[in-house]
Structure 1
Amino acid sequence: MSTAPTLRTPMDAKRLRTILGEFATGVTVVTYRDTDGSPRGATMNSFTSVSMDPPLILVSVARRARACAGLEDNAFTVNILAANQLDLALHFAGRPADAPVPWHEPIDGPPRLIGTTAWLQCRPWRTYDGGDHVLVLGEVECHDTRLLEPLVFHRGEFRRPGLKLLQIPRTVAFDGRPTCEWVDRVHTLHALADAGIDNPPLDI
């Protein structure tokens, strides 16, 4: 018994990009040494952890990007940008800044950026076909972090994190029980403040 072939609707690339943009990510600059030894970098938000044993991370690099060839069998560092490093994100995304790049060049290994919230130095592990991108896996050899706010990318815009979820007033506990009466009063105060009322009534 034969069945009719399934008709596939043509993919709307713009719509797909918009939908994928609903997933908020951090922002990284992947740095490496060019063939002449010069430090290079590229802004990427397609970055994820892969394995803890061995310690592997992955970045997705556009095939047409200069970094695609630069990362081939080459050590690299993933620099996770801090919220105050928007200028670096734009610089390595093709909008060069006038200020000098804060490079740190260790005696051994690829260059990295100063002032980031974290960095991971990697040796090349594997590369895989990813369509119009190449999936580059690196084995983490050393790393470090600082307690800084990270830069965030969401809906095509750079942002910074807001309040921790547990700092936001709520009227129902996680187990479904009502919380204390004062929480409702905090909600009312927040609503009045958002409305621009400087002197709320005292009987709330």
Structure 2
Amino acid sequence: MVTMTDAAARPPLDTRALRGSLGQYATGVAVVTYQSDDGPRGATINSFTSVSMDPPLILVSFARSTTTAQLLGDRPFTVNVLAANQLDVALQFAGRQQTGLQVPWSPTAQVPRLLGTVAWLQCKPWATYDGGDHVLFVGEIVHHDCRRGEPLLFHRGTFRMIGVGVYDLPRIVQLDGRPIAPWVGHAHLLHEISEYLEP
């Protein structure tokens, strides 16, 4: 059991080092869009969480100091999962104005939504929770869609694209745990590809 005295005696965490640890977790990049009194708005996030499938719930969070945390409240919102070619959109909604960018708003969406994304999830408000210096918004998915394409990624403070698939790595290991030669993995991949070639 942790007492108040124990908690007070602990030194504070190094915030910069903590960000470095959290940044090792690679995520996708999305923009949460919603309708404000002044028109459609959005904010870039690098993570959202699937909470439940029945009912279908997802969670997004925003720092209390942000406009989105203050405005989102009980408004419907859409999570737009950005494609790899939408870096300019990500930067725009992260507060870095992109000269000449025409924001690709969908002209038919009931809740503001972006075009060209690899997926989108339209939500109605479900619950709001205290998350320390953040506000946690849980939404119930009411509409969604996706298309084929590569997503935009974020890792260690940098936007990235998908690299080599795991299937390119060796598929077998030696019984004593020693690493297998890299060519073995390539041979397995070649064998897999050859199964789809015409005789």
> What TM bracket, shorter-length normalisation?
0.7 to 0.9
**1:185, distance to aligned residue in structure 2 (A):** 9.3
Q: Which residue of 2 aligns with 1:19?
A: 21
SS at match of 1:113: coil
**1:62, distance to aligned residue in structure 2 (A):** 1.0
SS at match of 2:91: helix
- What is the CA–CA distance in structure 2 between the aligned matches of 1:86 and 1:137, rounded to whole Å? 26
2:104 counterpart (102, 106, 112): 102
What amino acid is aligned across from residue 173 of structure 1 in structure 2? I
For structure 1, list consecutive stretches of 5 or more residues without a partner in the other structure: 188-204
Relative to the length of structure 2, the TM-score reads: 0.83
- What is the CA–CA distance in structure 1 between the aligned matches of 2:158 and 2:166, rounded to whole Å? 21
**1:167, distance to aligned residue in structure 2 (A):** 2.3
**1:106, distance to aligned residue in structure 2 (A):** 2.8
**1:175, distance to aligned residue in structure 2 (A):** 8.6
Closer/same/farther in 2, CA of residues 182 and 46 from structure 1, 3 Å limit: closer
For structure 2, list consecutive stretches of 5 or more residues without a partner in the other structure: 188-199
- What is the CA–CA distance in structure 2 between the aligned matches of 1:95 and 1:88, rounded to whole Å? 10
- 8 Å CA contact 1:82–1:116 kept in 2: the answer is yes
- 8 Å CA contact 1:61–1:135 kept in 2: the answer is yes
- What is the CA–CA distance in structure 2 between the aligned matches of 1:77 and 1:68, rounded to whole Å? 15
SS at match of 1:104: coil
- 8 Å CA contact 1:33–1:70 kept in 2: the answer is no
CA RMSD of aligned residues (A): 2.7
- 8 Å CA contact 2:168–2:186 kept in 1: the answer is no
**1:46, distance to aligned residue in structure 2 (A):** 2.8
Determine what percentage of the aligned residue pairs are the same residue.
55
In terms of Rg, which structure is larger? Answer: 1
Q: Which residue of 2 aligns with 1:183?
A: 183
**1:11, distance to aligned residue in structure 2 (A):** 1.4
